[in-house]
Structure 1
Amino acid sequence: MAMRRVLLGGAFALASVLGAIPAHAQPVPTPPGQITVEVETVNGSGCPQGTASVAAAEDNTAFTVTYSDYLAQAGGGSNPIDSRKNCQLGLKVHVPQGFTYAIARADYRGFAYLQRGASALQRASYYFQGSSQTTRSTHGFAGPLVDNWQASDETDYASLVWAPCGEERTLNVNTELRVSAGTSNPQAVSFMTMDSTDGSVSTKYHLEWKECPAG
């Protein structure tokens, strides 16, 4: 699967989209009605209970996951378990009858404070319950770095993976942050967050739509 990655200054671009589209499918406008997204399960050290929420856009073009306590750090006496944080979300996306959807783009942002010699990475994967098609991305950061990062990733329409028509399959969204002190001063802390200046990060998942076959 071909992916396009873009790196702009201090902003980091990440790509992620899911799978394959039947030859007969055509892009369609957003469906009528309103989609809803529910968090079925939430697990992981990066999203303790009550620190992750989800909301669907009113125009049915996207949904947003918001984190408020997602930080990995190393060095300066940090607990070794703090160097890796992850979050596993099981999302139930309710769509109007006769339509199905695919994740067309994922947008992330956060802040990185890495000492010289330290490094960090961000990983993500997406898949529908019961599907063998999983998209995985890994993105590395090297110190010194003190900057906001933003990642936007997309793939061609022909490579999207669609939710099965007529079924409600859980969309599993997994993310991970890791920080390594490396050769940096062991007394200095390095960290990476999925958050923003207001204390939360909005991770936006952009949707494409198609109509399901009749019958």
Structure 2
Amino acid sequence: MAILHIVVLALVSTISARSIALKTRQSPAILPAGSALLSIQASGNGCPHDTANIVLDNASQTAVITNLTEFRAKIGPDGRRDATKNCAFHASVQAPQGYQFTLLQSVYAGYARLDAGVGGRFAASYFLSSNASDVVGRTIFLEGKSFLEGSTFEIDLEHGTPRDYHKWSNCGQSDIANINNRISLVAEAEPIESGELIANAAPNQTVSVLWRQCTQMA
């Protein structure tokens, strides 16, 4: 299996292999005193609030998310109505003095069946509610020619990503951290060819809090 490395927004990666290696990330075993993952909510047409099941593990500051049954996109000659789906997670995090946090996602596993003229895209963007205009992201492309017969895939958004590239909170400031995941399909020519992209095949999806020490500005 090949390992997908996603480093910066300006660089994009293309999935041409049948699967991508799995490598999950977890919060450190020791968490700062006074820190907490207070809540996490899901939104978007790919994970409506009444469908996603979210369970918080306060001991590890990790949320386990299941039942993302709507996180799938379709395209075909009959229209483009479901060509884009987004699934966003909003985590309210309490930060103690002298620490700042970011969020990590585990792997996304899915299935794609694409005609040669259809391209798929998985994009993830990160921002804090206190500064919503400051966004970082990663984008992965799926080539139709690699998924003509239908194949499974795994996307690890964290592997090879420098910690400084994550969107870190202000030092000692509680905030709401947001991750917006978007899948989309685009047909290159008319008549529109067909394709389906599903990004909910993993047994569960996790979002966890990562901490580091920082210096409080005067």
Q: Same fold (TM over 0.5)?
A: yes
Work out the percentage of aligned pairs sharing the same amino acid: 22
Q: CA deviation at 1:126?
A: 0.6
Q: Which moved more, 1:147-156 or 1:49-58?
A: 49-58
In the alignment, structure 1 residue 193 sits paired with structure 2 residue 190: no
- How far apart, in 1, do the equivalents of 2:36 and 2:61 lie? 9
Q: CA deviation at 1:201?
A: 5.7
Trace 1:40-79 onto structure 2 (pairs within 5 A). 40=41, 42-57=42-57, 60=60, 62-66=62-66, 67-77=68-78, 79=79
- Name the CA shift for 1:11/1:82 in 2 (closer, same or farther; >3 Å): same
Trace 1:1-215 onto structure 2 (pairs within 5 A). 2-3=7-8, 9-12=17-20, 29-31=30-32, 35-40=36-41, 42-57=42-57, 60=60, 62-66=62-66, 67-77=68-78, 79-94=79-94, 99-104=99-104, 106-131=106-131, 132-144=133-145, 145=147, 146-154=150-158, 155-183=161-189, 189-196=194-201, 202-211=204-213
**CA deviation profile, 1:118-141 (whole Å, cap 9, x unmatched):** 211111101111224321122111
Q: Which moved more, 1:5-14 or 1:111-120?
A: 5-14
- How far apart, in 2, do the equivalents of 1:135 and 1:64 lie? 23
TM-score normalised per structure 1: 0.70
Q: Unaligned regions of 5+ residues in structure 2, if any?
A: 1-5, 23-27
Total equivalences in the alignment: 197
TM-score normalised per structure 2: 0.69
Report if aligned partners of 2:108, 2:200 keep a CA contact under 8 Å in 1.
no
**CA deviation profile, 1:53-109 (whole Å, cap 9, x unmatched):** 3334465264343322111101153x4221111233322134677643223555222
- How far apart, in 2, do the equivalents of 1:120 and 1:62 lie? 29
CA-atom RMSD in angstroms: 3.8
- Equivalent position amino acid for 2:17 in 1: G
- How far apart, in 2, do the equivalents of 1:151 and 1:210 lie? 25
